[in-house]
């Protein structure tokens, strides 16, 4: 075996040293929708039996003492919905610094764009302790 000497490259830009390094994939181009995707008249109806099954599934997986839901007052919802161009509300799952789950509500226009320059809701009153008496959705 031959004795090999270490060779050091001095003053070489780091980009030249990592020619074979993987390149991050390009992010897809974000284009605003130009045709309406929402009307505000979408059907979101569900039977109480089906809704009960879904909330029961959540309660089983979330563990004892978990937040089951929350309450938003009418005035806050109307403030989101009454903004010019709003056809509905989008919700985002979020989390307080203390770990408590919350929802963020924002108005959405007919092209599916969040109206982030308008009124945005959070601060729902959590259930528990602000729950309805026993019913198939919460018990």
Strand partners, 93: 103
What's the order of all strands across the beta sheet hosting 120-121? 86-95, 101-109, 120-121
Task: Read off the pLDDT of each residue in 21-47 and give the average, rounded to a whole number.
Answer: 78
Tokens of 38: 């929402």
**Confidence class of residue 33 from pLDDT cuts 50, 70 and 90?**
low
Q: What is the pLDDT of residues 53-70, one digit of tens each?
A: 999 998 889 888 888 899
């Amino acid at each position: 075996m031959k004795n090999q000497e270490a060779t050091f490259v001095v003053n070489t830009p780091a980009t030249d040293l990592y020619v074979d390094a993987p390149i991050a994939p390009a992010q897809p181009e974000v284009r605003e929708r130009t045709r309406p995707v929402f009307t505000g008249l979408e059907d979101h109806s569900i039977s109480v039996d089906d809704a009960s099954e879904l909330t029961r599934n959540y309660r089983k997986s979330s563990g004892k003492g978990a937040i089951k839901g929350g309450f938003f007052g009418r005035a806050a919802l109307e403030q989101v919905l009454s903004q010019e161009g709003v056809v509905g509300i989008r919700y985002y799952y979020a989390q307080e610094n203390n770990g408590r789950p919350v929802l963020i509500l924002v108005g959405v226009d007919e092209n599916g764009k969040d109206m982030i320059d308008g009124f945005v809701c959070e601060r729902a009153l959590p259930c528990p302790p602000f729950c309805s008496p026993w019913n198939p959705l919460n018990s």
